[in-house]
């Protein structure tokens, strides 16, 4: 029965029910709500535990991974006896033990552009607990197209971030904060930068709190704000985030029209640093010689208009898939953007599509202009 609370539920949730502003009405609202968690790792673990205990009626979990011993230092959903087994089986077992009154839906798969819209369509809120950029961009884009609020959390060593992205309610999307996927070498996401286990516990719990506020429509929602927790300084600071009118997703002239785009389709791999790249001064030498290949600029048209490298061809990153058949496979392709981030994605995308002579211009046009005599 989802239209009432049983005596056992009223007792279980009594410490919620006695809070003015929540009451049995608010608790019933939580029972009638649904949340999708992308990932049951460091952030997803505490978030899932608290959301289940709080009585969110339907919780969806997406995770393809199995439990590894090195997870247990922070991924507190899982325990010793689940090592080598599915994280979702482990999560289901633990969450059902905490609260048998809720419905758990498990999606034991990677969250991909092919399945994202379908999986997420049926939930009220999406909680981002993933650990890599392609999935994070995908989660953002999916939430945007489905007009679902996205409760964002991220961690790095001693610092955590919390935000709420919901352009349909006002405020920016994740791409307004991070317009470009970071250069593969720039962020040590694969190379285990390390994290103090309590940190995702704190940020994941904050995500659960914001989710509940959102569902109950209480308090102030952190739209247009990013909260940064610094564990070493014992400080929280909140910075304003504006919606970027030139955002490729939620801006005035968007160029991203589906969840399948270069940021979300890129394979998350640690081998990206083996990508061939050249410096801008090497590019100068190449272009001064008898260069037979092509130089692609993957920025947006308005950026291209302001400054460009002579002889470059404009193919905005998002339109690259449409140009696969017209690009030469027997000649060298050099790719640049503003600073090297978008072009690295482009190079990776071309390599994945069978191009072999592709190189990234590191530093992009920023480095090129800075060197200009």
Q: What positions carry a catalytic annotation?
A: 190, 337
Please list the helix, strand and coil fractions of the chain in percent, rounded to the nearest 5, in that order: 40, 20, 45
Using the minimum distance from each CB to Zn ion, give the nearer residue, 242 or 323.
Answer: 242
**Of 22-30, 50-58, 174-182, 313-321, which segment contacts Zn ion by CB under 5 A?**
174-182
- Check: CB of residue 299 under 8 Å from CB of residue 229: no
Give the footprint of Zn ion on residues 287-316 (CB under 5 A).
Answer: none
Closest approach of Zn ion to the CB of residue 106, in Å: 30
Q: Show the tokens assigned to 60.
A: 């969806």
**Of 53-61, 97-105, 169-177, 208-216, which segment contacts Zn ion by CB under 5 A?**
169-177
**173 sits near Zn ion (criterion: CB under 5 A):** yes
d(C-alpha 313, C-alpha 250), whole Å: 26
Number of residues that bind Zn ion (CB under 5 A): 6
Q: How far is CA 261 from CA 266, 348, 369, in A?
A: 8, 13, 29
The DSSP code sequence of 22-56 is: THHHHHHHHHT-EEEEE-SSTTHHHHHHHHHHHT-
Q: How does strand 150-156 pair with strand 159-165?
A: antiparallel
Dihedral of CA 171/175/176/178: which sign? positive
Closest approach of Zn ion to the CB of residue 248, in Å: 8
**359 sits near Zn ion (criterion: CB under 5 A):** no
**Of 16-24, 86-94, 170-178, 215-223, which segment contacts Zn ion by CB under 5 A?**
170-178
Closest approach of Zn ion to the CB of residue 347, in Å: 24
**Of 168-176, 183-191, 223-231, 279-287, which segment contacts Zn ion by CB under 5 A?**
168-176
- Check: CB of residue 161 under 8 Å from CB of residue 235: no
**175 sits near Zn ion (criterion: CB under 5 A):** yes
Pattern 118-157, Zn ion, x by CB under 5 A:
----------------------------------------
Using the minimum distance from each CB to Zn ion, give the nearer residue, 17 or 256.
Answer: 256
Closest CA to 295 of 307, 308, 305: 308
Using the minimum distance from each CB to Zn ion, give the nearer residue, 233 or 242.
Answer: 242
Using the minimum distance from each CB to Zn ion, give the nearer residue, 22 or 317.
Answer: 317
Closest CA to 96 of 62, 64, 49: 49
**176 sits near Zn ion (criterion: CB under 5 A):** yes
Closest approach of Zn ion to the CB of residue 60, in Å: 25
Longest CA–CA span in the chain (Å) reads 82
d(C-alpha 304, C-alpha 284), whole Å: 18
d(C-alpha 67, C-alpha 69), whole Å: 7
**67 sits near Zn ion (criterion: CB under 5 A):** no
- Chain centroid, CA 240 distance in Å: 19
**164 sits near Zn ion (criterion: CB under 5 A):** no
Closest approach of Zn ion to the CB of residue 120, in Å: 18
Q: Show the tokens assigned to 74.
A: 């922070």
Q: Show the tokens assigned to 291.
A: 């260069």
Give the footprint of Zn ion on residues 238-267 (CB under 5 A).
Answer: 247, 249-250
**226 sits near Zn ion (criterion: CB under 5 A):** no
Task: Give the residue at shortest CB distance from Zn ion.
Answer: 247
Task: Point out which residues pair with 153 in neighbouring strands.
Answer: 162
Closest approach of Zn ion to the CB of residue 303, in Å: 16
- Check: CB of residue 51 under 8 Å from CB of residue 59: yes
Closest approach of Zn ion to the CB of residue 300, in Å: 14
Using the minimum distance from each CB to Zn ion, give the nearer residue, 99 or 318.
Answer: 318
Using the minimum distance from each CB to Zn ion, give the nearer residue, 255 or 269.
Answer: 255
Residues at the contact surface with Zn ion, assessed by CB under 5 A: 173, 175-176, 247, 249-250
């Amino acid at each position: 029965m989802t239209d009432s609370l049983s005596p056992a539920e009223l007792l279980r949730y009594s410490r919620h029910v006695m809070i003015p502003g929540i009451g049995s009405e608010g608790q019933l609202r939580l029972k009638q709500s649904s949340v999708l968690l992308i990932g049951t790792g460091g952030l997803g673990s505490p978030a899932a535990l608290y959301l289940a205990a709080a009585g969110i009626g339907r919780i969806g979990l997406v995770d393809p991974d199995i439990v590894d011993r090195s997870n247990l230092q922070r991924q507190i959903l899982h325990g010793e006896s689940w090592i080598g087994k599915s994280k979702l089986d482990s999560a289901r077992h633990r969450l059902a033990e905490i609260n048998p009154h809720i419905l758990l839906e498990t999606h034991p798969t990677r969250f991909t552009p092919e399945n994202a819209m379908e999986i997420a369509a049926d939930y009220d809120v999406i909680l981002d607990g993933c650990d890599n950029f392609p999935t994070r961009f995908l989660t953002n884009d999916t939430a945007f197209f489905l007009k679902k609020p996205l409760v964002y959390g991220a961690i790095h060593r001693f610092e955590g971030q919390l935000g709420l992205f919901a352009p349909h309610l006002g405020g920016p999307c994740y791409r307004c904060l991070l317009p470009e996927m970071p250069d593969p070498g720039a962020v040590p996401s694969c190379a285990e930068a390390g994290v103090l286990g309590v940190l995702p516990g704190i940020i994941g719990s904050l995500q659960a709190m914001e989710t509940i506020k959102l569902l109950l429509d209480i308090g102030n929602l952190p739209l247009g704000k990013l909260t940064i927790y610094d564990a070493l300084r014992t400080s929280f600071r909140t910075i304003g985030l504006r919606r970027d009118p030139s955002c490729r997703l939620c801006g005035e002239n968007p160029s991203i029209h589906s969840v399948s785009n270069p940021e979300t389709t890129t394979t998350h791999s640690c081998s990206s640093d083996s990508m061939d790249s050249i410096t801008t001064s090497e590019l100068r030498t190449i272009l001064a010689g008898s260069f037979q290949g092509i130089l692609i600029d993957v920025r947006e048209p308005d950026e291209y208009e302001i400054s460009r490298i002579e002889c470059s061809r404009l193919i905005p990153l998002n339109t690259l898939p449409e140009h696969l058949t017209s690009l030469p496979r027997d000649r060298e392709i050099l790719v640049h953007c503003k600073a090297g981030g978008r072009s690295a994605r482009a190079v990776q995308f071309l390599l994945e599509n069978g191009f072999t002579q592709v190189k990234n211009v590191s530093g992009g046009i920023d480095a090129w202009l800075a060197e200009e005599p």
